[in-house]
Amino acid sequence: MVARIFQLPLSLGYQVSSVLLKPPIAYVDSSAGSFRFIVPTAGDLHLLRPSASIGYSARFAPPIVDSFDLTGAGVKPGTGRCQVDFYSLPVD
């Protein structure tokens, strides 16, 4: 299971600082922990649930993400919405 994130509610301050300075840090708070989120990669595929057939031992397998929340990047919690498209990709 993978996801793409679109239409992030980035503030004008974020957009200006990302051009002139270092952009504010964004995070993904998920059921698997909190991770730094690179905003320009939002439209890329993000792994949420790896296939059971990948053959990795549990120790080395990517974490399973059941839920997530985007925070930071100059956006106040609860003030914006984004579009998330979920895909199930077959693995041979």
Q: Long-range contacts: 35-40, Cβ < 8 Å, 24+?
A: 37/70, 37/72, 37/73, 39/8, 39/10, 39/14, 39/73
Is the residue at 54 inside a domain? yes
Domain holding 72, by residue range, is 2-87
Does 33 map to a domain?
yes
Q: Is residue 43 part of a domain?
A: yes
Radius of gyration of the chain (CA): 15
Give the model confidence (pLDDT) of 10-69 as tens digits: 666 666 666 667 666 788 888 888 888 887 788 888 888 777 777 777 777 777 778 777
Q: Which residues contact 63 (CB under 8 A, 6 or more apart)?
A: 30, 32, 33
Q: How far is the C-alpha of 46 from the C-alpha of 63, rounded, in Å?
A: 12
Whether 77 shows a pLDDT value over 70: the answer reads no
Cα 75 off chain centre by: 15
- Count of domains forming the chain: 1
Q: Is 92 inside any structural domain?
A: no
Q: Residue 44 corresponds to which amino acid?
A: D
Domain-embedded: residue 63: yes
Give pTM, 2 decimals: 0.64
